[in-house]
Structures are given as C-alpha cells and as structure tokens.
Amino acid sequence: MSITEIESYRLSRRGFLNAAALGAASIAVSACATTGPGPVEPPPPPTYVEPPLADYASMYAAVNDGGFDLPAIPVDRIDPQFLRQIVPDPTGQKPGTIVVDTTGHFLYLVRPGGQAIRYGVGLGRAGFEWSGDAVVQWKQKWPKWTPPDEMIARQPELKQYSADNGGMPGGLKNPLGARALYLFQGNVDTLYRLHGSPEWRSIGKSVSSGCVRLMNQDIIDLYDRVPSKTPVIVTSDARQPMVATANHKAIPIDAGVPDGSVLLGPVKAVTNAIF
C-alpha cells in the first residue's frame, strides 16, 4: 500500500468516526427533547347570539289567542324603530332585566352577549309620573279591568265595569289588551303596568292615559319570555338607569286594576283629554 493510499484511508476513517460521534450526540439531545404537541389552550367560551326574530309580517300577523282573534298590525304604517328587533344592549343591566326608556319610548329586555330585544311602547300620563325599580309580581292573560271610581265619575258609562259589577272581562276592547304585567316594590303595588293595547297608533307616542302599552303581539311575546319576579327599571335614559323610589299608596292588587287607580283607561285618540 502506498503512502498516498494510507493517508486517504486514515482521512476516510476519521470522517466516519466524526460523523458517528455527531449522530450519537444528536440522538442524545433529541432524547431529552419533548416530541409531543405543546400545551393546548382551552377554547374561549362561545359568544351567545340571540336567535333571530321572525320577519315582521309573521310577528305581527293575525293570530287567535285564548279564543280571541287579534287582527294583523299594519307594520308598514308604523315607524320601523318601534317594531320588535334585536339591538345592542344600551342599558348595561343583567340579562333578564326589563328597562323602560320613557324618553325614547322603548322597552328593552336584556339578553346575554350584550344584546337586548327592543319593543316600541306608548306612554300615558303614568309613564312620566313613575320611575324606579320594581319586579313583575303578577302576570295575567286577557286580564280583567276594573275602572276606578274617579274614572267612572268622568265617564258614567263605565259604571257597568265597576268593582261592584265585576269589572270588564278580558277581550279585544279591554284597555289592558292581551296581557298585563303588574309591577310591585316588595309587597306594595306600584300601580304601574306593562300591558297590551289594540291602539297600535299610540306606539311611540305619549297619550292621555295608561301606563306602558305595547302592541298586543308584542306584549304576548314579552309575556312568554319573562317569568314572575323579573326585575324592571323605569327610567328617562336607558343608558343611565336611575333607581328611584316612587311614592304610591299601597293598594293590594285584585283580579283587575286596584281600587283607586287612575292610571289605566281606554285610548280613543292621541289627544290631551282624559278619557
């Protein structure tokens, strides 16, 4: 074997040994490394999205409810802002709370995920005389209405519906409409009502009498969404609900409007008269 061949052999053997050493070191290092996937972050909680409402023609269509045929509401004759819709919640209240904005003529039912279902309302004189917090203490379908003595004195024809005569049965002409939600503070009746009305023209307006009125199809929808003891805030600004205590005589509720109430009455037209 020549000297050149010997040197070439030595270089080849040295390269082989060096490569083997590097391979062993690589295996040793990889044995200490984590070969599995990294830590898995838990997925973020799903954002609640309110199920979409039906189209307006369906929501305000004619419907038979409790044996009464409610006529369809001509939605094309109502300002669209007062039709039922899902909006970003402006109130900051807990889900499940009702907020009545007496300035905007809106009622908000706060939902999860920063949303609210908004209904247009009509406000009577009582809508501006009472503000504060309350709870839905009583709910009635097609409630009976008992006009107070003061109202009967102004409208003697209402005497047939006095407390002594059993009140006005529920029906299409009843001023409380298809549903009524009765608001209390503790065990004291506030005399404040969220109720239905056949007078869809009064929605979004301030009228002569009544509390907070919704279109009958809307009060039915609201009634079905809220349980008893639902908190209610009535305020002039939904963005800054002010909780105030109203001074009202404590009158126990009965099957209709409590005796002495002057807050409810039929609306025949949008005027300043007291019916």
Rounded distance between C-alpha atoms, residue 190 and residue 40, angstroms: 54
Contact predicate 211/187, CB 8 Å: no
The structure tokens listed for 274 are 């007291």
| Polymer length in residues for the chain | 275
**Which helix (H) or strand (E) is 64 found in, with range?**
strand 63-65
Report residue 40 as tokens. 């898995």
Output the six-digit token pair for 35: 């070969």
Three-state secondary structure call for residue 1: coil
Pairing relationship of beta strands 132-141 and 179-185 according to DSSP bridges: antiparallel
Give me the catalytic one of 32, 105, 195, 248. Answer: 195
Is 211 considered catalytic here? yes
Any catalytic annotation for residue 195?
yes
Of the residues 32, 105, 211, 248, which is catalytic? 211
Alpha helix stretches (DSSP H) within the chain: 3-32, 56-59, 126-129, 149-154, 216-225
Using DSSP, state whether 10 is helix, strand or coil.
helix
DSSP code at position 258: P
Q: Would you say the C-alpha torsion 270, 174, 128, 238 has a positive or negative sign? A: negative
Matching residue, tokens 């996937």: 37
Any idea which residues carry the catalytic annotation? Answer: 195, 211
